[in-house]
Amino acid sequence: MVIYQVRPTIKNAKTAVMKQLFLLFALFMIVESSAQQTPRPLKTVTFSGSGYELGLQHGKALKKEIGEVIMAWKENTSIQLGKDANVVLEEFFGYARFEEAIKKWTPELYEEVQGIAEGAGQRLKDVLVLNLLDEFWVYVVALQNHHCSGMGVPARNGNPGYIAQNMDLENYIDGFQVLMRLNRTEQRPEQLILTYPGLIALNGINESGIGVCVNTIMQLRASSSGLPVAFVIRRIINSTDKEDLLSFIQSVNHASGQNYLIGIRGEVFDFEASANKVVRFDPQNDNGTVYHTNHPIVNDDLKPGFEAYNPDRQEELAATSSNSHLRLKAVESRMMANAVIDDVMIKEALRSRDHAENPVCRSNNHNGRGFTFASVIMTHSDQPFLQVLAGPPDESTFQRVEFSSREK
């Protein structure tokens, strides 16, 4: 009889424990779901000065975060490549010969990176590699990291111009979203820059109405001695002169295959840049819109092995069901839908998920395939401003950020 009395007790106890575990699991899922819907914080920082002084402020203000980013980068690199990140770093800098180009074209930015390293108490190489994001991807042929989607709308008939982008990055960088304001100097306009700690720029706009968004084009030829993408971006938004800017983007030796979507006071220009060519892309739409993802559309300066992406043979060879092609189709359909495109329509495009596995807007599923780090819309009106949010744009609301007033 004792045995039969004990068994029901154990069974009842197990049932009670299972119920408690189920309730705890349900509560966890509710909390987790709620957390996923909570808007990510967008850290905002403001720096002054130029060159080394500017970087020193950056390094000191974000010292803790820069250390965390470097640790996360190394952990991610070791996992992805199956090799100690410090060894990979030394091998990379054996290949990379970017310093000469940086010092030639943007010497003050090289000093800025030095200042960041000094202020953060980090090795220069560890900070420099953060500023060679695309160049490192090119080095390790990290095709899976590139899923940015950009679009541009020219100013017409009293309507402002726009350039916009979902900036997609690797999962490990989530939580480090930063909006950096650089105060104006006599040589430089005020700037609003999307970035993360230790990096001089991902994209940005200045108070004179010049902005740039970018998309990696891994298939195009690269140069180990060209000017890296982050430095090209800052050179663009340091500029106030249209002709100087257009001359620079088409004449500089580019380190990485990259698409530069540039807004200049309501005009929109799109250039596919590679080591040997810079070709303007203009789809000749009636409403003037342009859009781009992560494959070449007009530049045929391809790396060996990427013949399927030759623009002259797209219909014959290209994998038009690829991630980049599907996203381009989603953006294109929206940018061509109306004679006048406004920021509401742009937000719809940035939030779109037309294809379940290859959406424009990408959640952080912690699956190693990357996510939408941040989304930006740059408005090129008489008084330019930025709309920005951290994370995928369908998870929170854009905030408007304006430039400071000039003292009279």
pLDDT tens per residue, range 168-180: 999 999 999 999 9
Q: How would you class 295 by CB atoms within 10 Å of its CB: exposed for 0-12, middle for 13-18, buried for 19 or more? A: buried
Instruction: Report the amino acid identity of residue 339.
Output: A
Instruction: Report the amino acid identity of residue 283.
Output: P
Q: Which pLDDT value is given to residue 309?
A: 83
Among 265, 385, 259, 398, residue whose Cα is nearest residue 331: 259
Q: Is residue 330 part of a domain?
A: yes
Q: Is residue 134 part of a domain?
A: no
Q: Is residue 105 part of a domain?
A: no
Give the H or E element holding residue 192.
strand 191-195
Q: Dig out the tokens for 188 from the structure.
A: 């430089």
Which DSSP letter does residue 309 get? G
Q: Is residue 29 part of a domain?
A: no
CATH number of the domain bearing residue 211: 3.60.60.10
Q: Dig out the tokens for 245 from the structure.
A: 């800017």
Give the H or E element holding residue 163.
strand 161-169
Contacts of 85 (CB under 8 A, 6+ apart): 73, 74, 75, 77, 78
Q: Which pLDDT value is given to residue 134?
A: 95
pTM above 0.95, yes or no: no
User: Cα–chain-centroid distance for residue 135?
Assistant: 14
Q: Is residue 323 part of a domain?
A: yes
Q: How many CB atoms lie within 10 A of CB 92?
A: 18
Q: Which pLDDT value is given to residue 109?
A: 98
Q: How many CB atoms lie within 10 A of CB 205?
A: 30
Among 348, 264, 330, 320, residue whose Cα is nearest residue 292: 330
Q: Dig out the tokens for 128 from the structure.
A: 């420099």
* β-pairing verdict for 371-380 and 161-169: antiparallel
Q: Is residue 118 part of a domain?
A: no
282: containing domain: 143-402
Q: Dig out the tokens for 7 from the structure.
A: 């068994």
Q: Is residue 96 part of a domain?
A: no
Residues of the chain with pLDDT under 70: 1-37, 143-146, 313-320, 407-408
* Distance from C-alpha of 140 to C-alpha of 135, rounded to nearest angstrom: 9
pLDDT tens by residue, 148-200: 999 999 999 999 999 999 999 999 999 999 999 999 999 999 999 999 999 99
Torsional sign, CA 239, 197, 324, 139: positive
Q: Is residue 123 part of a domain?
A: no
- Number of compact structural domains in the chain: 1
Using DSSP, state whether 116 is helix, strand or coil: helix
